[in-house]
Amino acid sequence: MRLINAAAAMSGLVALAMLVAAAHPLRDVVQAADLDRIKLGALVQLGAACAGLAIANRSGRLNVAAGAMILSGAAIFAGTLYAISLTQSQDFAMLAPLGGITLISGWAVLAFAKPRA
């Protein structure tokens, strides 16, 4: 679970960095729709980071799987939104649904995981 904890902390770090960037250096550089996309990605990633930190205090295979799925799904989803917003390229757009499905599936797995094993 130490890896889940570290991944969750890094996810939170990236999310907060993107929120700060959207509020300051990127504010005058990218369009409003792109700023909104960055903020959405950061919100999803920050929520997943919080979930990951909570899951890191649990044990059991389903908790590990759920944490990995939630964090990786959020990273793929948010990363796709960041990439689209910063590069103006739609080449990454097909990854967003993969990240979203993985994230949602992770929450579903978590519903069946024991809080304490």
Query: What pTM does this model have?
Result: 0.95
> Is the distance from CB of 62 to CB of 105 less than 8 angstroms?
no
Residue 1 has a pLDDT of: 86
- Which tens digits make up the pLDDT trace of 87-99? 999 999 999 999 9
Residues across the chain: 117
